Chains A and B, each alone.
Chain A
Amino acid sequence: MIHIVTAANADRYSAELLQAFELRHRVFVDEKGWAALRRPDGRETDQFDDEHAVHMLYIEAGAVLGYQRLLPTTRPYLLTEVYPQLCDGRAPAGRDIWEWTRYCVEAGRRERGRVLSPVAHALLTGIVEWGLCGAVSAIVIEMNPLWLLRLVQLHFKVTPLGLPLPIEGEDTVAVIARFDRRTLDRLTLMRPAVLVQGERAA
């Protein structure tokens, strides 16, 4: 299930957070080859892993299998500091807008070309549920444009902030994706199919 870790409860999740940083290192450095993020201790962290970050961990039997991070846009964030070239115009900022970063899922638990994997589904649903509970209505995403159609199909109202550009060898587009109750309903509908899929695989 999804665990939300913030400055308020980080002391109770110190082991899991370390696992999450190791997962990030495996995915972003070892797998995707983002060499600038490489750390000798095999734990990927950056300047945004501070007291303002909201970490979402998918934990199963003590193992962190999925991760994503949300950053407030009322302060400097990845798009404004690291990828300003992706944003043509003023970067979104507001208490109801957060930036979705470092989404990653353990290699063996990703979708195999079919529907969203249960871990991916839980992470995505986690953002929307968390958002709807906390008066957050939009997320800023820097992503491969291949994801755009899926977000549109999930009833996110997506607006591009710039045209796609290659980042670390991968086409990347910055968007702002608004969501509401309909998005959650759509995600909920997706769920049974995912479960049936998982059962069939097992």
Chain B
Amino acid sequence: MSRTLLDRTLEFVKLVDAAQSPSEVASIVLKCAAPHGFEQVFAGTMPGARERAAKQRAHVILDHWPQSWLSRYFSRGYLVVDPTIKRVRAGAPAFYWRDLIETRDDPVAQRVMDEATDFGLRQGLTVSLLTLDGHAAGLSLAGGRIEHHPRLKGMMTLVASYALGQCFGLDKAARAAPVDLTNREIDVLRWLAEGKSDRDISQILSISEHTVDKYLRSAFAKLGVANRASAVAKAIRARVIV
């Protein structure tokens, strides 16, 4: 069995690598998981504890989940009581929902799982992941009647990692505008675009050359570039500087 599962995983890796959108990733995941009874997939990074419902939804990455359940879930604040979310935040290894012992003495957690059943999410499996910037992420697969097998948990752990890896790559490529450059970083980039040297810039802004370098490095990181020329080009393209 394990060799077949591995072959199917390798096939999945090849397919998902060519996916162009998260919805395409979701359907490739489901195609791979369908033989084991999975019909729905949902994945996202973990919102901060105090984020409001509207912001919580911004963390969703893969969304092939009953929409009526999601509305109910977010509007009722189930995110904070959902036992699968607690395990994902703790970085627990992949688990089947039926093995959630937390629900035994937590009626609220039990109710969330019971209600999910009413929306077709009767049995499921959740994988915890960790992104490069240290955020917990989770991927859940569910269906009316799924196969329970330890090797399947391992396979879906791999599948989830590649699926989210591909989505993050797509997101990065699609994001045209850079994020929150500070005023100082923009100042340095603006003078750099004027052809000034680090020493010139340090004198103009009355800061040390070391500090100029520090602002540049952090601007590079935010812009996703590796050198000065690309930084200026990207900053102009993104209208950070004119």
Residues of A within 8 A of B (CB): 88-89, 111, 113-116, 145-150, 152-154, 159-160, 162-165, 171, 173, 185, 188-193, 195-196
Contacts and interface: CB of A to CB of B under 8 A. Distances in A.
B93 interface: yes
A109 to B, nearest CB: 15
B165 interface: yes
A177 to B, nearest CB: 12
B10 A150 contact: no
Contacts of B129: 146, 149
Nearest to B153: A164
Interface of B: 2-3, 5-6, 9-10, 13, 91, 93-94, 128-134, 137, 151, 153-155, 157-158, 161-162, 164-166, 168-169, 214, 217-218, 220-221, 224-226
A173 B224 CA distance: 31
Contacts, number: 98
Contacts of B13: 159-160
Contacts of B225: 189
A164 B132 contact: no
Please name the 4 residue pairs, one residue from A and one from B, whose CB atoms are nearest each other, closest first. A152-B165, A192-B217, A164-B154, A148-B161
Contacts of B130: 146-147, 149-150
B165 A159 contact: no
A159 B10 contact: yes
Contact of B161 (A145, A154, A189, A196): A145
B221 A192 contact: yes
A146 B221 contact: no
B132 A173 contact: no
Contacts of A88: 2-3, 6
B33 to A, nearest CB: 15
B158 A164 contact: yes
Contact of B217 (A149, A154, A195): A195
B162 to A, nearest CB: 6
A111 B220 CA distance: 22
A111 B134 CA distance: 9
A89 B6 CA distance: 10
Count chain A CB atoms within 10 A of each CB in B128, B133, B151, B155 and give the residue with the most: B133
B158 A114 contact: no
A114 B134 contact: yes
Count chain B CB atoms within 10 A of each CB in A116, A162, A163, A192 and give the residue with the most: A163
Contacts of B151: 163
Contact of B157 (A153, A171, A190, A193): A171
A150 B132 contact: yes
A150 B129 CA distance: 9
A188 B133 CA distance: 14
A140 to B, nearest CB: 16
A100 to B, nearest CB: 18
A185 B221 CA distance: 11
B141 to A, nearest CB: 16
A162 B134 contact: no
A159 B17 CA distance: 12
Contacts of A113: 134
Given A113-B134, A193-B218, 8 more contacts: A111-B134, A116-B132, A145-B157, A147-B130, A149-B164, A152-B166, A153-B131, A173-B158
Nearest to A146: B130
A163 B155 contact: yes
A195 B158 CA distance: 31
A115 B133 CA distance: 5
